[in-house]
Amino acid sequence: MTETNSGTKRLQSSYFSSIVSISLVLFMLGLLGMLVLDARKISDYVKEHVQLNVFLNDELSDQEISAFQSILEKEAAIKSLRFISKQEALDSLKKDLGTDATGMLDINPLPSSFELKLKAEFTDAETLKKLAAEIRENKMVREVTYQQTEVDKMNENFQVIAFGILLFCVLLFFVAVALINSTIRIAMYSKRFLIKSMQLVGATKSFIRKPFLARALVHGLYAGFIACLLLGGLLYLLSTKLPELVQIQDLKANGILFAGIIVLGVLLSVISTFFAVNRYLRVRVEELY
pLDDT tens profile 65-121: 899 899 888 888 888 899 988 888 777 777 766 655 455 556 767 888 999 888 888
Does the pLDDT of residue 135 top 60, yes or no? yes
For residue 103, the 8-state DSSP code is: T
State residue 4's pLDDT score.
43
Cβ distance 111 to 142 under 8 Å? yes
Q: What φ, ψ does residue 177 adopt, rounded to 5°?
A: -60, -45
Domains of the chain: 2-44+163-288 (no CATH), 51-146 (3.30.70.3040)
State residue 75's pLDDT score.
86
State residue 221's pLDDT score.
92
State residue 154's pLDDT score.
65
Tell me how far CA of residue 59 lies from CA of 46, 63, 65, 135, in angstroms.
35, 12, 10, 19
Q: At what angle do helices 205-241 and 192-200 cross, to 10 degrees?
A: 150
Q: How far apart are CA 245 and CA 127, in angstroms?
A: 29
Quote the mean pLDDT of the chain: 78
pTM of the model: 0.60
Please, which residues bridge with residue 116 across strands? 52, 81
Question: Coil, helix or strand for 88?
Answer: helix
Choose the weakest-confidence range: 114-123, 147-156, 263-272. 147-156
Nearest Cα to 182, choosing from 276, 278, 80? 276
Does the pLDDT of residue 229 top 90, yes or no? yes
pLDDT tens profile 189-219: 767 777 777 777 777 878 878 888 888 899 8
Q: Is the dihedral of CA 194, 278, 289, 284 positive or negative?
A: positive
Q: How far apart are CA 137 and CA 140, in angstroms?
A: 9
**Residues contacting 168, CB < 8 A, separation 6+:** 32
Query: What's the CA dihedral at 168, 171, 173, 177 to 10 degrees?
Result: -160
Mean pLDDT of 31-48: 75
> What is the end-to-end Cα distance of the chain in Å, rounded?
24
